[in-house]
Structure 1
Amino acid sequence: MSVVASLRRTRGAAPALLLAALALTAAAAASAQEASGGSDAPAPLLHPMFQDHAVLQRGQPLRLYGSAPPGQQVQVEFAGRRARARADNDGRWEARLPALRAGGPHALTARAGERVQRVEDVLVGDVWLCAGQSNMELQVWRALDARAELADAGNDRIRLLTVPKAGAALPQDDFAEPVRWRPVDADAVRDFSAACYFFARELQRSIDVPMGLVSAAWGGSRIQAWTSGAALRAAGGHEDELAALRQYAADPVAAGARWGELWGQWWRGREGAAAGDEPWRADYAPGRDWRPAPPELGPWEQWGVAELAEHDGMVWYRASARLDAAQAAQDAVLVLGPVDETDMTWVNGRGVGSAYDPGGAREYPLPTGLLQAGDNTVVVNALDTYRAGGLGGPASAQYLRLADGSRVPLQGWRYRVESGSDWPPPAPWQSAAGMSTLYNGMIAPLGRYGLRGMLWYQGESNTLEAERYADQLRTLRADWRDRFGEGLPLLVVQLAGYGMPKAHPAESGWAELREAQRRVADEDTGTGLAVTIDIGDRYDLHPPNKQELGRRLARAARHVVYGERLAPSGPVPRSVRREGETVTVAFDDVDGELLAYGAEGPLGFELCGPAPETCRWAQASINGQEVVLRGAPAATRVRYGWADSPLLNMFDGAGLPAGPFETSIDE
């Protein structure tokens, strides 16, 4: 695929609320350091995943690993079993012990020469990796009835570990910060993933074994950031981004210039692009559509400009800095202050940096020789997709910092508003929106820790490219199974409803992404789906009812992972057939009969022709475990719940909703 074609298809991060980082407390860091013997003690032999209060996966050979001097033999002992391994040339070692049943607590000991590390209170049970974006990250203190939940929290048989937030251009062996396992109590669970915790709490009522929960989540993240570079490369379509990422790992300044060229190709190739309209060029002459920016800068929604009052999209900024010859000869850093959310920045027509960090400060080192005596042009394209956006003020916060410590202010700020939602591609090194960055910084450091399964709650940030999500989800599933175990179960949370309902049928990226999630789950017996369409919040991207989500995830796990004979996620369409003037949809996985709450029949069914924008509401009635539709005899497709936030009322006897779907009509 060409550079331009690839970038046209990568339309940038979808609207997202980047939650505050789940930082470890100083006490946690101190405890982890103490566990490893203190700052002056030798480095631990065991990987940080193996420490006090850990949970190891039952029923499979135990893979233990860590670091030791190259060539040194390491002996490990756990629950009466022993094994030996020898550190390789990089100092990495791995040993295997036979599978164990659930139980404990046990002690784990590693010895290498005179060095001994002992880990206490280790349980054997089921370990779950909970990953995704802000709805997986959402903490227990933000869930429904949080005060009571925290007051009642106390379960030594559920252990929690939060992976520190970190993006990286290359796979990392170690975590960005110290980690530790913590038994559930009010303090430990308060900032932990609510979805993950309520899942394990519910599951433990049926599967009575210790549970270990590993949370790795980042608000606003795209699925590409959680997928390894090798898997993305094999899937194809990301060659330019991955090449830029490799360059960034070695030379960020040169990578900034290269990404500026790729960004420019996207700009010139977008729909409606005007020839010669390249605002980043040093010789570009701003026209009358460029207006003076207020000296305080700050969020553009607060400028008092009508077209910016609720603007989500791009705004161009342009300023200059005048230097003499001595100043221009110095090394320099461009300081922009905070930017919300994403910027692409040029100096004298050359790309110097790009970042996605809502409200985060930007500082970009400039390549030697880029600055010149006289005027130097600085151009910033700022993209905001949620709430306040733009350059943080005042204008004095933006300047060139020269090697001698002096500052040269940027002057004459002007701006131009861009309309439309054809948003630019994110730089591949951006933490939450990049390519493999979160895999490298948050998944790779886990090593190949034994897991029972994976929970995945993500997709809001990919709704602008929903047509690609099914393949992206398949790629991630195969990628993580390659790391953690072939056939490892995956439980997918289908996106909840968000936004205002529509009065008429319409196309929806959210609905299209839900359909991708449904189809990927349906094609693989090791993948389950938790339908949440009825527990969303039209006013809040982060619905707080994570208790019900936990119950549905646990139900899916009981079916997919533990083989219980129960419907995993509510009614699902089995077949669609035409019968004269009607269309009949037959459902499977119905507990009892189908029910329509609050109306004589189900709401939300559509009959559609083959082309977009041809759907019409259908009159629907329930007949046992079937729904009969009337209204469009020439229809070729049936849709149900096809909207960002559909109004739906069909459930089964267990109170589980029929999830959104689209399917063709059998003739």
Structure 2
Amino acid sequence: MRPMSRCAPALLLLATPAAAQEAPLLHPMFQDHGVLQRDRPIAVWGDAAPGDRVEVTLGTRKTLVRADADGHWRADLPAFPAGGPYTLTATIRGGQSQRAEDLMIGDVWLCSGQSNMEFPVSRALGASGEIDKANDPDLRLMTIEKKTSLVPERHFPASVQWQRTTPETVREFSAACYFMARDLRASQKVPMGLIDASWGGTAIDAWRPETALVKDPAAQADLALLRTYRTDPAAASRQFGARWTDWYRATSGDAVGAEPWQSAAPGKWRPLPSFDPWERWGFAELAAYNGMLWYRTEVTLTAEQAATGTTLALGPADDMDASFVNGVPVGVTYAWGVPRHYALAPGTLKTGKNRIAVGVLDTWAEGGLLGSADQRALRFVDGTSIPLPDPADWQWLRAPAGVGDPPHAPWEAIAGFSGIYNAMIAPIGPYGLRGVAWYQGEANAGTPERYAEKLASMMAAWRGQFAKPDMPFLIAQLSSWGPRVPRPVESGFAQIRDEQRQAVLADRNAALAVTVDLGDVVDIHPANKADVGHRLARGAEALTYRGKASPSGPWPVEARLEGKVIRIRFTGVDKGLVALSAAQPIGFELCGTTPGSCRFAAATIDASDVLVAVSPGSASRVRFCWGDSPICNLTDATGLPATPFELEVK
């Protein structure tokens, strides 16, 4: 994962509509070695011919249902206690039959989020030993492949498979998810199924279904644009392109008509060395450059070619591209490793010379317009094509300093609306779950405002899909990453942590796994995922298994002015608060009403409270453990850290 501001996209793959594939009698969630949720009615579904009568059998229980006019059927079996193995059979009267064998009844957890959830066991601390001892036939794993779709899918665009836990199957499975479940297996002693649906670098809106977005006033303009894109991508690209070009002019200072996508664009354009990453071109100014570079070339067309339907094909861009033909925006994509294909609206091309300009933004590591020569062409509807020129006939120009994170199109995979939900969560259908573990937020650190609202709406929508209004959500709070600083600072990472705290505070069925002490200042992917899993399991035990420990450890309740101190009251403290490696807790700040008004403040522990000395100046807010990589030493006696927070002073 690389951030969007600081998170990396992975592949962008558009799903083929499931209706275009031959649907199995049983939905793919039901297959050998699966786990079904105990102690609640079991929904089973699939597809058949309209009107077919389908008999569904699980163990000794049977039910008969009929496929509807669309060929969809669903059976609801009674609740089963933990146990197994069982065989599930679906049979059409007088016809097809399908079986799923070695099914266990236990608890099913969905683990989702971005790359810290995707982070595999093979890269975790102590990986070799953990993998060698991973032999648990009653812990079953399923990984959902990264896909996206413009509409909610009934079936997964790529095949899925349940597998028993072995050293081979656990190696690339989500480490945080696996370590959580291993703890729960030890304490609950029931079979467990883990579904890993995660994707590095993804923003939360890509995981929110459209049913959640329609209730978000701030999303309405982009939702309308997304609906246009579904039926007319070229028109939607033009509309979004106008927004993108306004942003570019505002950040670059270019005048209208002088932008890099115009034919008379000024600037020191230089010959393109290659379609390799620009860090390899041999220019000192690009050796470690994270920013935007422009590429341009020309293609000469006949009148017939200019008049026909055409797609501009480009190689992959790392990370983001904004592409123009004759000054007209034709497409924007934020994803690396994915070739671009942009349908051109009628009238975009002309007889004679046509200028193609591509702005590429790279935010981390290597960047550029990449790929092989056969990936760059103008492709016509009659099946013919003409290649785009060789590098010698391209030019490049470095964009002005300060061109940062651009607006994102609502159809983008990792930062757009609902695409990942549609292809990776919607197909799970109403499958029975015990709960969800969610580890995401780095990709939203550049724009942390309203993250709590977005997370709350996502949790509500997912609970609706799985027909479980009280379904537990375990939220892994962001770990530390980034430089340490000697003074109070504003921090998107810190604000996301507090937004996550606020979302959990407002939700009686959510728990927060505090991980700020488990980070790595130089690696956004800290390797200590075992402790992340332990803390997720602690939350699960508190919410769903009647565990006695608090779900999250020391939790701030209020900050109240008492004379010359501000008393911060905590709950969830096990055996009192302690300050590690110091006589007093550190990391407390007093703040005024405006950004940049915070100052460090001395604090002392008073049983389960903290007293912060009121220094000169206003103090309308108090913050704790604020920053990208703050140093904080306040824990309870078990060593569980207090959550970072910001509170108003009463």
Answering whether residue 410 of structure 2 is matched by residue 425 of structure 1, we say no
Q: Does the residue aligned with 2:314 lie in a helix, a strand or coil?
A: strand
Equivalent residue of 2:422, what SS?
helix
Aligned-partner SS, 1:238: helix
Q: Any unmatched runs of 5+ in structure 1?
A: 1-11, 23-39
Rounded Cα–Cα distance in structure 2 between residues aligned with 1:294 and 1:271: 25
1:626-641 matched pairs, under 5 angstroms: 626-630=609-613, 632-633=615-616, 634-641=618-625
Map of 2:313 onto structure 1: 335
| 2:378 is the counterpart of 1:374 | no
Aligned residues: 634
Structure 1 residue 220 displacement after superposition:
0.6
Distance, in Å, in 2 between the alignment partners of 1:149 and 1:641 is 32
Which residue number corresponds to residue 293 of structure 2? 315
Cα 1:581–1:636 shift into 2, 3 Å: same
Does 2:567 match 1:587? no
Deviations 1:125-163 (A, max 9, x none): 111111100011111111111111111011111111111
Amino acid at match of 1:336: L
Give, in angstroms, the shift of residue 385 of structure 1: 1.6
Deviation at 1:656, TM superposition (A): 0.4
**1:427 CA drift (Å):** 1.9
Alpha-carbon distance between aligned partners in 2 of 1:620 and 1:519, rounded to the nearest angstrom: 23
| Paired residues for 1:321-400 under 5 Å | 321-392=299-370, 398-400=376-378
2:396 partner SS: strand
Q: Pick from 441, 448, 456: which aligns with 2:430?
A: 448
Which residue does the alignment assign to 2:631?
A: 647
Task: Measure the CA separation in 2 of the matches of 1:602 and 1:307.
Answer: 45
TM-score (norm 2): 0.92
Q: Does 1:60 align with 2:40?
A: yes
CA distance in 1, matches of 2:423, 2:626: 36
Partner of 1:519: 502
Q: Offset at 1:518?
A: 0.2
> C-alpha offsets along residues 276-330 of structure 1, whole Å, 9 cap, x if unaligned?
26626545x3223x43153225333344555544433333333322334354345
Residues 99/427 of structure 1: CA separation in 2 closer, same or farther (3 Å cut): same
Q: Which amino acid aligns with 2:103?
A: V
How many Å separate the matches in 2 of 1:147 and 1:20? Answer: 28
What's the offset of the Cα at 1:401? 4.7
Distance 2:278 2:5 in 1: 20
**Cα contact 1:344–1:355 (8 A) shared by 2:** yes
Once the two structures are TM-superposed, the CA of residue 247 in structure 1 deviates from its matched residue by: 2.8
Question: Partner amino acid for 2:100?
Answer: V
Instruction: Indicate whether 1:90 and 2:74 are aligned.
Output: no
Aligned with residue 5 of structure 2, among 10, 14, 18: 14
Equivalent position of 2:90 in the other structure: 110
Which deviates further from its counterpart, 459-468 or 397-406? Answer: 397-406
1:621 to 2:604 alignment? yes
Cα 1:108–1:419, aligned 2, differ >3 Å: closer, same or farther? same
Secondary structure of residue in 2 paired with 1:195: helix
Alpha carbons of structure 1 residues 508 and 348: separation in structure 2 relative to 1, 3 Å: same
- Residue type of the partner of 2:365? R
Name the CA shift for 1:504/1:306 in 2 (closer, same or farther; >3 Å): farther
Q: Give the corresponding residue for 1:27.
A: none
Amino acid at match of 2:111: C
Q: Deviations over 1:569-595 (max 9, x none)?
A: 111112222232222222211111222
SS in 1 for 2:161: coil
2:109 aligned partner: 128
Question: Cα deviations across residues 195-238 of structure 1 (Å, max 9, x unaligned)?
Answer: 11110001122112111111100111110001111211221222
Alignment partners' CA distance in 2, 1:416 and 1:533: 37
Name the CA distance, whole Å, in 2 between partners of 1:637 and 1:527.
25
Q: Quick one: distance in 2 between partners of 1:600 and 1:617? A: 16
* Alignment match, 1:3: none
Kindly tell me: are residues 21 and 611 of structure 1, through their superposed partners in 2, closer, same or farther at Cα, counting changes over 3 Å? Answer: closer
Matches within 5 A, 1:41-52: 44-52=24-32
Measure how far apart 1:406 and its partner are. Answer: 3.4
Matches within 5 A, 1:212-227: 212-227=193-208
Distance 1:148 1:90 in 2: 50
Amino acid at match of 2:533: G
Paired residue type of 1:73: R
Aligned partners of 2:183, 2:403: CA distance in 1, in Å? 41
- 2:228 corresponds to which of 244, 247, 266: 247
Report the 3-state secondary structure (helix = DSSP H, G, I; strand = E; otherwise coil) of the residue aligned with 2:448.
helix
Shift of residue 260, structure 1, vs aligned partner:
1.7
**Alignment of 1:550 onto 2:528:** no
Letter in 2 for 1:654: T
Does the CA contact (< 8 Å) of 2:9 and 2:414 recur in 1? no
> What letter is aligned with 2:51?
G
Question: Could you tell me which residue of structure 1 aligns to residue 157 of structure 2?
Answer: 176
Unmatched runs of 5 consecutive residues or more in structure 2: 14-20
Matched residue, 1:483? 465
After superposition, the C-alpha distances for 1:419-468 in whole angstroms (9 at most, x for unaligned) are: 22642122222222211000111111111111110111000000111012
Task: State the TM-score, normalized to the length of structure 1.
Answer: 0.90
Native 8 Å contact 2:47 2:73 kept in 1: yes
